[in-house]
Structure 1
Amino acid sequence: MHEMSICESIVQIIEQQAAAQSFSRVSRVWLEIGPLAGVELEALRFSFDVVTRGGVAAGAALEVIELPVTGWCMPCAKSVAVTQRYDPCPDCGSYQIQITGGEELRIKEMEVD
């Protein structure tokens, strides 16, 4: 389960920011996650609760902002919404789409004390 190591990295970033910005507690964390990031959300939530115990983010709420999958259609020369890799362009039907969004996994915001 790689969600545990993802959460350990998130907590490491939170603790580094706590030291750098002098806050003592995090009460809420917002993550932006795309469907192509390969993350199981329930496993991530469970892992976050386990990994944050006893630290600056203990008891913090985890909010997930799910991002859409987007791609650049080469024949249309525009950004299009797709649901997964290798989908055809919804406008022209071409499979020449380069994924430009939906793979993200990042901390967007934290509520701190």
Structure 2
Amino acid sequence: MHELAITQGVVDAVTERTGSAPVAVVRVRVGRLAGVVPDAMRFCFELVTAGTPLEGAELEIEQPEGRARCRSCGRNFALPDPVLLCRCGSADVEVLAGRELGVASVVMAEPAG
């Protein structure tokens, strides 16, 4: 399950920036063509945040749709899945969006007291 390594990377990147400050929400962008299963990432997030400043934080996952441009006919079109095929029949397409994978933002927890 590569989601475990990806999620650990997200947690490491956030804690590198936030240090020991508690985090309430981590928002990530995971394109629909990135090959990452959001539910698996949520499960892994709970595991890898245990004992860290992110423990108990909410993971919000935004899933931008795939977009492509056909090099043969010039059409821009949505890619709901990894099948890179234009309606004209050409597989010569350029993926424009949908492979994103990264931290979009972090919401810090309110200080206790």
TM interval, short-chain normalised: 0.7 to 0.9
How far apart, CA to CA, are the structure 2 residues paired with 1:5 and 1:110? 19
Which residue pairs with 1:24 in the alignment? Answer: 21
**Residue 58, structure 1, aligned to residue 55, structure 2:** yes
How far apart, CA to CA, are the structure 2 residues paired with 1:34 and 1:65? 8
By percentage of residues, which structure has more helix?
A: 1
Query: Cα offset for 1:55?
Result: 0.8
Secondary structure of the residue aligned to 1:35 is coil
Runs of 4+ in 1 over 4 A off after TM superposition: none
Unmatched runs of 5 consecutive residues or more in structure 1: none
Provide the TM-score with structure 1 as the length reference.
0.84
Query: Cα offset for 1:78?
Result: 4.8
How far apart, CA to CA, are the structure 1 residues paired with 2:11 and 2:83? 34
How far apart, CA to CA, are the structure 1 residues paired with 2:17 and 2:64? 24
Is residue 86–residue 97 contact of structure 1 (8 Å, CA) maintained in 2? no
**Residue 41, structure 1, aligned to residue 41, structure 2:** no
Provide the TM-score with structure 2 as the length reference.
0.84
Q: Percent identity?
A: 30
What is the RMSD of the two structures over their aligned residues, measured on CA atoms? Answer: 1.8
Query: Cα offset for 1:13?
Result: 0.5
Unmatched runs of 5 consecutive residues or more in structure 2: none
**Residue 3, structure 1, aligned to residue 3, structure 2:** yes
Is residue 82–residue 89 contact of structure 1 (8 Å, CA) maintained in 2? no
Instruction: Give the aligned length.
Output: 109
Q: 1:85 to 1:47 in 2, by over 3 A?
A: closer
How far apart, CA to CA, are the structure 2 residues paired with 1:108 and 1:66? 11
How far apart, CA to CA, are the structure 2 residues paired with 1:96 and 1:66? 24
Which residue pairs with 2:12 in the alignment? Answer: 12
Aligned match for 1:100, one of 87, 96, 105:
96
